[in-house]
Amino acid sequence: MLTGLKSHPLFWDSSATGRSRNLRTPDDLCTRRACHDLGLASDFDLRIPRSDSKMSATLLLEPAGRCCWDEPVHIAVRGLVPEQQVTLRASLRDEKGALFRAHARYCADTRGELDLERAPALGGSFAGLEPMGLLWALEPEKPFWRFLKRDVQIPFVVELEVLDGHDPDPGPLLCQARHERDFLPPGVRREPVRSGRVRATLFLPPGPGPFPGIIDIFGIGGGLLEYRASLLAGHGFATLALAYYNFEDLPGNLDIIPLEYFEEALCCMLQHPQVKGPGIGLLGISLGADICLAMASFLKNVSATVSINGSGTSGNRGINYKQISIPPLYYDPRRIKVAFSGLMDIVDIRNDLVGGYENPSMIPIEKAQGPILFIVGQDDHNWRSELYAQTVSERLQAHGKEKPQIICYPGTGHHIEPPYFPLCPASFHALVNKYVMWGGEPRAHSKAQFIHAPHAAAWSLSSIPSNGSRLAPEQPVTLRASLRDENGALFRDHARYRADARGELDLERAPALGGSFTGLEPMRLLWALEPEKPLGRLVKRDVRTPVPVELEVLDGHDPDPGRLLCQARHERHFLQPGVQRELVRAGRVRAALFLPPGKGPSPGIIDLFGSSGGLCEYKASLLARHGFAVLALAYFRFEDLSKHLNDIHLEYFEEAVDFMLQHPKVKALSIGLLGFSKGGDLCLSMASFLKGITATVVINGCVAKTIAPLHYRDMIIPKLVSDTGKIKITKSGFFNLMDSWSNPLEECNHQSLIPLEKAQGPFLFIVGMDDQGWKSEFYAQIASERLQAHGKERPQIIYYPGTGHFINPPYLPPSRISVHAVLGKAIVYGGEPKAHAKAQDNSLQATAFIFGCHVMPTKSDFLPQPSSSITLVLRRTGTCLLQPNAMYWAVSRVVTDQSRE
């Protein structure tokens, strides 16, 4: 690996000045491992100094130790002895107090670190590389106890412990944490439904709606189970968790299935103002799946059906609808087998399907209008789900219908639940009144749950079309996206595509053939948006309102695409559900504070923008979603602040730091700083002179004072001189300011340099190598040399080729040329769209990672401090900025996968 790095074109000497680059040996630079640790692509130039400093005892939780049950959690342990043996334990109690536990043995690496995404478990409840194994491998202390969630309004609390050594006798407790797993995603609304005979709970996603609707039905046992519906609502679906017996005033037993009750529930959904018509999707497991198949066969306005281990028959009860009756299939208890453990195996208990798909107990699924997806566990011991799915397929084809989609999961039992649910291999069966086997092998079953949940959600969404149309095989289409900003300015783009042989189009697999861009770019319809009015820049001022994106699919290719085939409206939120926004008017400070979901306190950050002034909140609001308390700070051109940037008094920013450190929702001791452009040199000044600063991230900033001198107490740092005579004007009449700034290394400009060596915390410089605003790369190199000359560590520097000045959050369109708010001139800022967009995606990850490592208290809030230096890291992976989890284009009805953002 090291030999290969010598020829890598992006690993340059960070001490070189100007635009020249001299290769140095890889030992003086970071390796690709550092790129991996930061979650960055290794084709970016990343310079991180080697350090032998010891890790402080810090517990990191992102976001603040709480997330939804179906979201992954990254678990790592830092500060261990190299190759130290440890045991990790997880436990939780359900709502009835039943205890579930899991444990695994691990070995730290040579750096004394343990990352469950890279380190395999050596034994325990599971073995191998299983980052989420401590959850899905949980087992009940009481035999045959099923893991269920009844009250979705209360999270499950997972206790995590790290112990020295391996079992059977692990040593002392090294560290521990509590991690809350929510079933009611932030912003999701829960509405009890008592309409006519219908007894249910409706879960509505965040936002104004309307939303695609789903009815969710469970199996034998009755009651009202809400956990799957509540989680689905977090993915953008209005989901009705429907009870049908053994709940409130519903019948206590289920002798027959009256389809009119379910028809009433369907009408209730279609009439709800927050539910999008004209069709509703159905999702059911076991008996609930068979009810869904019957609804799809007899009722109108069912657009798609997902059956999880259903049978396609009337089962042990008849199904009635008006004058139609489907007789029960019944079962023979003499076919029950008794396992060695005493558990009942009922897989063969049902009567045979005499006549195959023509058996009178089969549901007439050929009458269904919408598509059907069968999720099948091949080790299902409740009944033979795979055989039944194949029989339904034969029936559909015999009636001239399309073969349904069937996904079979090896080693998977009957109870296929949301991701990370522990397997239930056996439990009490309400019908048999005995403990029965459900089947399933833990690892295979867990994998099926992880895969099927997003698959079924994506498939259901793509199967609820707005007009019922579908594409022809290899049909050419044009996709268009447009939005209007808060001032009404229009941004739009388009791309040409071709459907595959099945008449389907998936932007994660199909390249654009032309238009605003070409190639495989799943999200480029967002970041390639261009202003209709030249020189416009997409800026979000009011983060409380989303940005609606209009998406259209048209027949044919431009310049004259044909008729509109389908369309959708997609809202992009800047204020994540659960994030609190507080206006700050404390003393002289004018700002907005964004607090992440949860009780807090949370690590604090101050966010400063550039020389356009005003109050820019969008970066702060998005960072709060990652678990930080972020103060978006204005410093001129806002309310009663100065209208012009003539003098800068650091006491104002010191007041903002004090405000953050004293806020009850902000973790004390220290905060981080994030500055862009002019805000970058202000952050460097704050880090150099003020106390309580632990880490500073500078995006395309300068190491000298620009625009205005800095005053702090009796000290003045003069501004860096600029020469307007060196401003270049392009052929198009645009201003290029890059060469107008004087060299701060020239003797006459030395006094304008910021004394970075006085700062206590580390620095991260994010640099666009095509920044035309000023020489950001040169300034970062000056910072590195100055720090080293004073005996300090080199700063971390990430260089992004082809990236301009405005490095914004992911998917915001690059601003290569725009009118400066203060200067009133069109300024060239640089950047190549594709490279710039990639940099925006990576730079946010790097920023969150650096702050996650350094902007924390030195003592854990959750545990007594051990003598050794231990860090248990819990952080989310695959973060998202909107609902549903990722903007996912799928035209037609089948989507084979949906994954992160």
What residues are annotated to the active site?
Answer: 286, 380, 414
Specify the amino acid at residue 123.
G
**β-bridge mates for residue 373, sequence order:** 306, 405
* Nearest Cα to Cα of residue 496 among 478, 483, 480, 510: 478
Q: What is the DSSP letter of 418?
A: S
Spatial contact of 19 and 772, defined as CB atoms under 8 Å apart:
no
Query: Cα–Cα–Cα angle for 660, 693, 16, nearest 5°?
Result: 140
> Is residue 804 within 8 Å of 814, Cβ to Cβ?
yes
Tokens 């389907």 correspond to 504
Encode 8-28: b = buried (16+ Cβ within 10 Å), e = exposed: eeebbbbbbeeeebeeeebee
Give the residue from 693, 595, 697 showing the smallest Cα distance to 650.
693
How far apart, in whole angstroms, are the C-alpha atoms of residue 814 and residue 811?
9
Decide: 826 and 794 in contact? Cβ < 8 Å.
no
Contact (Cβ atoms closer than 8 angstroms) between residue 4 and residue 29? no
Q: Distance of alpha carbon 631 from its chain centroid, rounded?
A: 22
In whole angstroms, give the CA distance from residue 280 to residue 361.
25
Nearest to 589 by CA among 538, 662, 539, 664: 662
Judging by DSSP bridges, how do beta strands 693-699 and 763-768 pair with one another? parallel
Amino acid at 205: P
Rounded CA-CA distance 121/410 in Å is 23
Q: How far apart are CA 477 and CA 561, in angstroms?
A: 8
Greatest C-alpha distance within the chain: 99
CB 55 within 8 A of CB 78: yes
Grouping H, G, I as helix, E, B as strand and the rest as coil, residue 201 is: strand
Closest Cα to residue 291, out of 330, 324, 258? 258
Residues 6 or more apart whose CB falls under 8 angstroms from that of 697 comprise 672, 673, 674, 675, 683, 763, 764, 766, 847, 850, 851
Do the Cβ atoms of 599 and 569 come closer than 8 Å? no
841 backbone dihedrals φ, ψ, rounded to 5°: -65, -45
Contact 363, 297 (CB under 8 A): yes
| Cis ω before 168 (30° cut-off from 0) | yes
Query: How would you label 839-848 residue by residue, b for 16+ Cβ within 10 Å and e otherwise?
Result: bbbbbbbbbb
Which pair of structure tokens corresponds to residue 260? 């009119």
SS3 68: strand
N residues, the chain: 901
- Enclosing H/E stretch for 255: none
- What DSSP letter does each residue of 587-654 carry, written as one string? TTEEEEEEE-SSS--EEEEEEE--TT-S---HHHHHHHTTT-EEEEE--SSSTTS-SS-S-EEHHHHH
Closest residue by Cα to residue 437 from 518, 516, 343: 343
Question: Which residues pair with residue 612 across a beta bridge?
Answer: none
Question: What DSSP state is assigned to residue 714?
Answer: T
Residue listed under structure tokens 């073995």: 127
Task: Give the start-end residues of each E strand in 243-326.
Answer: 256-258, 275-285, 302-308, 318-321, 324-326
